[in-house]
Structure 1
Amino acid sequence: MLIRDLPYADPGVPDVRSGRHFLLWLGRRQLRGQAKSLAWGTLHMASVASIPIAVGLAVQAVVDRSGGGLALAGALLALLGLGATVGDTMLHRTAVTNWITAAARVQQLLARRTAELGATLTQRVAAGEVVAVSTGDIEKIGWCVESVSRFSAALVVALSVCVGLVVYEPELGLLVAAGLLLLIAVVLPLLPRATRRADLQREKAGRATELAADTVAGLRVLRGIGGEELFLRRYRSASQEVRQAAVRTARMWALIEAVQVALPGLLLIAVVWHGTGLAMDGRITVGELTTVYGAVTFLLFPLRLVQEFAMAYSFSRPSAARAARVLGLRRSGDGAGVGDGAGGGEARSLENPAEGDLHDPAGGLLAPAGRLTAVVCGDPDEAGRLAARLGGHDPSAEEDPAEEEGERPDARERALPSVLLGGVPLDAVPLEKARAAVLVQDKDPVLLSGTLRELLDVPGSGRVSANEALAAAQCADVLDALAQGTPGLNGDPLEARITERGRSLSGGQRQRLALARSLVTDPPVLVLDEPTSAVDSHTEARIAGALRRVRAGRTTVVLASSPLLLDCADQVVLLQDGRVTAAGTHRGLLRDDPHYRAVVTRETDDELAEGTTHA
């Protein structure tokens, strides 16, 4: 894969059992690129490693006053210089290509997983962790993949040089081999400690990034309650922890680097000392001593690459573990088999989803096709989980973070039964068809920056226009607010600009714009989680009537506890502990079911007990 061929047509299915497995999978996907880098790296380092031979021949030719020998040494030196230059240039090209293509593969995988999970992603993993994976962690993973080939070339050439020294000059060669073994014995025990410190640093840095992302996201609320200083102190504390961990990590790597400088330096002194004695005794020539000296000096270069790979792996392993954790999140099904032409009855139901009921076997909820169903949950978190399930995502399938370094059990073994649409399991439907059939509007919808026209330019049936949706969502005051903030509007309200995440708007205004966007989409099944929680009662009453009118003939499920919305529903369902305990009309349940009345009217436990006793 070349950089100009990106993006990948198919980035593949990653092995997310652990960070180590993920790195190995990335390496296997780039075998051709790694082989190219290994070949060019071997050429480069072999050329550099052979230069002492040419220098030794030149020195010996000068000692012997041989013009032919000096010319031969010069020609060999020029050839080796050319090989080193070409090898280094091509190694850099192929290694950077491996880095960029590996990072691009991970980015595509993350983008695909984010698109598949949608709003449920941040319910299962912190938004800050996703940011950390998609920025710094990708760079660390690419660095590790890129350094593999250079490390392999350095290892091959270093071993070859050691063997060559033993053959070329056994006494000095054995001294060099013994010195390298001593260096390995000293450095290797330090690497696990350095890796653990690097892991701790990355973990603390990830937490600080999550805290910063969450703080920025809630900055407006923090200013409103005067909590800026509290979160600033928290971030300062987290930042200092990261700094201290980084210093401890740097100290360990500095110690390793010092050892790698000191021990080879002592080895070089020992080789020169002993070699000089051998040369003075006439047991070796000056040219041979020069060759051995140059070879030992060259060995310092591969040792640096070994250290670099150790650092790259230690920093990338926790990054790969985080990426594997995010990529390991799945829908409760794999979307295979259904909707591809197999199973005649299921395929027909899928082609006409509006004709089927929406049914959740786990909780007993049944939303009849073409009707407006309101669901009352006493627990807001339970309502959020139900909304995700109705959209084909099962939050119960979340992976256990403790399993990130071991074998992951199949999430589907722990997931609840899938929601059925027209008798077809939603988690078995290909993702694009499931989303075309069911749209879930989250409790805190996100508005992207751009014009209002761009916000409402979403795939839809065409049955509901942008102006009709804005009117139904009671967005007249929102249009006025946006118009005031957009100079040179020229009378077209749809050209008004929305700031990032709609931060210039109030919570109720953002909710209404998101509702208008959902109404324009006009899906066969629309699930709304508290769509008017930040809206005043008068506006809410108008929205409730307009929602019933615009969604006539379509299946709509509203998770809410507002009497104004509940009174407009065709049926109201009460959920307690995830199970349907009552169903009927709002007024009938308000009259006959004390638990329903307690949730809707906000009765206390004492008032509920008193009412039950009187009944």
Structure 2
Amino acid sequence: MQISDLPYRDPGVPDARSGPRFLWWLGRNQRANQLVALGWGLLHFCGIAGLPFCVGLGVEAVVDRDGGRLLRAGGLLLLAGAATALGDTMLHRAAVTNWITAAARVQQLLARKTAELGSALTRRVAAGEVVAVSTGDVEKIGWFVEAVSRFLAAAFAVVAICAGLLVLSPALGVVVAVGVPLLALAVLPLLPRATRRADAQREKAGRATELASDTVAGLRVLRGIGGEELFLGRYRDASQEVRQAAVHSARMWSLISAVQVLLPGALLVTVIWYGASLVQDGRIAVGELVTVFSAVATMLYPLRHFEEIAMAYSFSRPSAKRAARVLSLTRDAHTAARSADDSPAAAPGAGAVSAPEPGGDLYDPETGVLAPAGLLTAVVCGDPDLAGRLAERLGGHPAGADASASVLLGGVPLDELTLDQARTLVLVQDKDPVLLSGTLRELLDVPASGQVTAERALTAARCSDVLEALLQSAPDGVTDPMDARITERGRSLSGGQRQRLALARSLVTDPEVLVLDEPTSAVDSHTEARIAEGVAELRRGRTTVVLASSPLLLDRADRVVLVHEGRAAAFGTHRDLLRSDGRYRAVVTRETEEEQRRAATEPVRRDTARPGALAEALRGGHGDGLMGEHGDELMGGLTDRLPDEFSEIEESA
């Protein structure tokens, strides 16, 4: 796998049972690249390992005044240098390729999991942790995958040097062979403490990042209440905690580095002292001492990779653990099966069912909510959380306790469709839609049926003032509002403007079924009424479900369903339910229990809800009319001039 071949066609199914298992899975999936890096690493480190022996041969040739041997030693030295240079160049190239491809694989896996879970992800994992996994953790995991091949090559070089010294000079070789493992293992007792300190630093950094994100997201509100200084102080304190934790962690890693310098230096001094005594006794030649000295000095370089692999594993293990935790999240067995069927490795059509025919009803067996095909159905829930969960269920994304039964579209369970099929058929816009940065044209350039143009969608969502605002804030030379840029998450726009642009984006897609969760909660009543009219007109003949409690939206719906205590309790038109169902009236009109009891004990006023009762009360039909004894005379000419819709007005009253 080369960088030019990215992204992967199929990143695979990860082993997310634990962090180490996930790292092992990554390594196994990059065996070919790891072997290539290992080969170049062996060439590099073998060249390094050969340098001391070449130097020793040259010194002995000088002592013996043998020009031929000196020439051969020089040739071997040149060959070892060339192998070192070539191996180092290609090892770096291969190792970086391993790092980038491993990081890309993890990012693709995370992107696939995010798309699979949707909005359920942030309910299961903190948003700050998701950001940390997809940025810093991916880099640390890639670092470990990159370091493995270098470490294995360095370990082979160390073993080769020790074996060569045992053959060349057994007395000194034993000292080196015993001392090197001690050097490699000396830092192990320090690693757990260093790892805990690094974990504490990352945890504090994650909290600080989350606090900064929340502060930026709510900056407009904070400025309105004068709370920016308070949150700035909180972030300053969190930042100082991160700094202190970083210093605390750095002290331990500096101690590990000091040990890696001190102990090899002690070994080198020991070898020189003992070797010099052997030379004085005539037990070894000067060339052998130079060879052993050069070998021990050269060995310090591959030994650094022992420290690197320890640091890489210490940093990547918690990162891999967090990544595995995210990648192991599933909604339910149906979703897991559907994800498996979606993978390119699966056989075409295996485990999938054919998509339902267009024009089918949407039915949720869990709540009993039915949205007839081609109609605008409004769903009223007294519990906003229940409305959000119902919206996800209707979109084929059940989670937790709501995953017991699949929603049916045209009699076909959505959970048995592939993700591509489900997303083509049903689109859910939640109550807090996100706008990505870019131009308005890019925002509306989404997979769509092609039947609804961007202009029609923007008109239906009543975005004319939004277009003017974008054009006014655009740089000089931008004359088309479609080319105006939207900042990250649409922070330069008001809540209502963001909501309307998100609605326009949903309308452009023109799905078979569109589910809108409180699509007008941030706009004023006048705009809300116009949006209700525009959506009803644009979606005529298409199945649309709106979860809302606004009378302006409910009055435009073809059918209204009341969900009470988790079940569909009543259905009809908005006006019928207002007259006939007190539970519905309490949710829509925000009537308190006291107001309901008072209304029940006042039959005269409640009676005015029936047709003709208002006029009857005005002219005295109830005894003491509101207009007194002259009610009949005053109403005589008035009723003749009332429009035909008078009875409709009385019903609304």
Structure 1 counterpart of 2:394, from 390, 396, 403: 390
Describe the superposition over 1:557-585 as per-residue Cα deviations: whole angstroms up to 9, x where unpaired.
11111111122222222334433333333
Shift of residue 278, structure 1, vs aligned partner: 1.1
Q: Is the 8 A contact 1:489 1:496 kept in 2?
A: no
Please name the residue that 1:442 is paired with: 430
Distance in 2, matches of 1:264 and 1:487, equals 62
Shift of residue 146, structure 1, vs aligned partner: 0.5
Shift of residue 610, structure 1, vs aligned partner: 6.6
Distance in 1, matches of 2:476 and 2:240, equals 47
Matches within 5 A, 1:71-220: 71-220=71-220
Q: Is 2:539 aligned against 1:535?
A: no
Specify the SS of the correspondent of 2:366.
Answer: coil
* Aligned partner letter, 2:431: K
Q: Is the 8 A contact 2:360 2:411 kept in 1?
A: yes
Shift of residue 601, structure 1, vs aligned partner: 2.2
Structure 1 counterpart of 2:357, from 341, 352, 374: 352
Distance in 1, matches of 2:117 and 2:267, equals 57
Q: Is the 8 A contact 2:49 2:160 kept in 1?
A: no
Specify the SS of the correspondent of 1:552.
Answer: coil
Task: Pick closer, same or farther for the CA change 1:78–1:501 going to 2, 3 Å.
Answer: same
Please name the residue that 2:540 is paired with: 552
Task: Pick closer, same or farther for the CA change 1:465–1:160 going to 2, 3 Å.
Answer: closer
Range with greater deviation from structure 2 (29-38 or 323-332): 323-332
Q: Is 2:276 aligned against 1:276?
A: yes
Shift of residue 489, structure 1, vs aligned partner: 7.4
> Larger Rg: 1 or 2?
2
Specify the SS of the correspondent of 1:557.
Answer: strand
Distance in 1, matches of 2:321 and 2:600, equals 53
Describe the superposition over 1:287-311 as per-residue Cα deviations: whole angstroms up to 9, x where unpaired.
1111111222222222210101111
Shift of residue 120, structure 1, vs aligned partner: 4.2
Distance in 2, matches of 1:93 and 1:184, equals 26
Please name the residue that 2:20 is paired with: 20
Range with greater deviation from structure 2 (129-138 or 427-436): 129-138
Task: Pick closer, same or farther for the CA change 1:322–1:612 going to 2, 3 Å.
Answer: farther
Shift of residue 34, structure 1, vs aligned partner: 0.7
Please name the residue that 1:404 is paired with: none
Task: Pick closer, same or farther for the CA change 1:432–1:489 going to 2, 3 Å.
Answer: farther
Distance in 2, matches of 1:108 and 1:44, equals 33
Structure 2 counterpart of 1:370, from 345, 353, 374: 374
Shift of residue 250, structure 1, vs aligned partner: 1.1
Q: So what's the TM-score if we normalise by structure 2?
A: 0.85
Describe the superposition over 1:355-398 as per-residue Cα deviations: whole angstroms up to 9, x where unpaired.
2111222222221212222112222222222212211212328x
Shift of residue 88, structure 1, vs aligned partner: 1.1
The alignment yields a C-alpha RMSD, in angstroms, of: 2.7
Higher relative contact order (CA 8 A, sep 6+): 1
Q: Is 2:490 aligned against 1:485?
A: no
Task: Pick closer, same or farther for the CA change 1:428–1:614 going to 2, 3 Å.
Answer: farther
Q: Is 2:320 aligned against 1:320?
A: yes
* Aligned partner letter, 1:369: A
Matches within 5 A, 1:197-596: 197-330=197-330, 332=332, 333=335, 334-335=337-338, 347=354, 350-353=355-358, 355-396=359-400, 415-486=403-474, 494-596=482-584
Range with greater deviation from structure 2 (331-340 or 298-307): 331-340
Distance in 2, matches of 1:266 and 1:125, equals 49
Distance in 2, matches of 1:582 and 1:13, equals 45
Describe the superposition over 1:63-113 as per-residue Cα deviations: whole angstroms up to 9, x where unpaired.
222222222221221111111111111111111111111122222223333
* Aligned partner letter, 1:367: A
* Aligned partner letter, 1:383: A
Shift of residue 491, structure 1, vs aligned partner: 7.0
Q: Is the 8 A contact 1:14 1:22 kept in 2?
A: yes
Q: Is the 8 A contact 2:380 2:548 kept in 1?
A: yes
Shift of residue 203, structure 1, vs aligned partner: 2.3
Distance in 2, matches of 1:266 and 1:479, equals 73
Q: Is the 8 A contact 2:184 2:303 kept in 1?
A: no
Specify the SS of the correspondent of 1:146.
Answer: helix
Q: Is the 8 A contact 1:419 1:425 kept in 2?
A: yes
Distance in 2, matches of 1:43 and 1:469, equals 63
Q: Is the 8 A contact 2:361 2:410 kept in 1?
A: yes
Shift of residue 614, structure 1, vs aligned partner: 8.9
Please name the residue that 1:400 is paired with: none
Specify the SS of the correspondent of 1:206.
Answer: helix
Distance in 1, matches of 2:419 and 2:470, equals 35
Shift of residue 263, structure 1, vs aligned partner: 1.6
Range with greater deviation from structure 2 (449-458 or 89-98): 449-458
Identical aligned pairs, as a percentage?
A: 69
Q: Is the 8 A contact 1:358 1:366 kept in 2?
A: yes
Structure 2 residue ranges without an equivalent (≥5): 604-653
Range with greater deviation from structure 2 (294-303 or 107-116): 107-116
Shift of residue 494, structure 1, vs aligned partner: 4.3
Range with greater deviation from structure 2 (27-36 or 101-110): 101-110
Task: Pick closer, same or farther for the CA change 1:555–1:562 going to 2, 3 Å.
Answer: same
* Aligned partner letter, 1:386: L
Distance in 2, matches of 1:154 and 1:301, equals 9
Please name the residue that 1:70 is paired with: 70
Distance in 2, matches of 1:583 and 1:610, equals 25
Shift of residue 330, structure 1, vs aligned partner: 4.0
Distance in 2, matches of 1:337 and 1:49, equals 51
Describe the superposition over 1:529-578 as per-residue Cα deviations: whole angstroms up to 9, x where unpaired.
10111111122222223322222221111111111112222222233443
Shift of residue 25, structure 1, vs aligned partner: 1.4
* Aligned partner letter, 1:556: T
Specify the SS of the correspondent of 1:189.
Answer: helix
Task: Pick closer, same or farther for the CA change 1:35–1:221 going to 2, 3 Å.
Answer: same
Please name the residue that 1:401 is paired with: none
Distance in 2, matches of 1:103 and 1:611, equals 65
Runs (4 or more) in structure 1 with deviation over 4 Å come to: 336-344, 487-497, 605-615
Shift of residue 468, structure 1, vs aligned partner: 3.0
Give the total of aligned pairs.
595
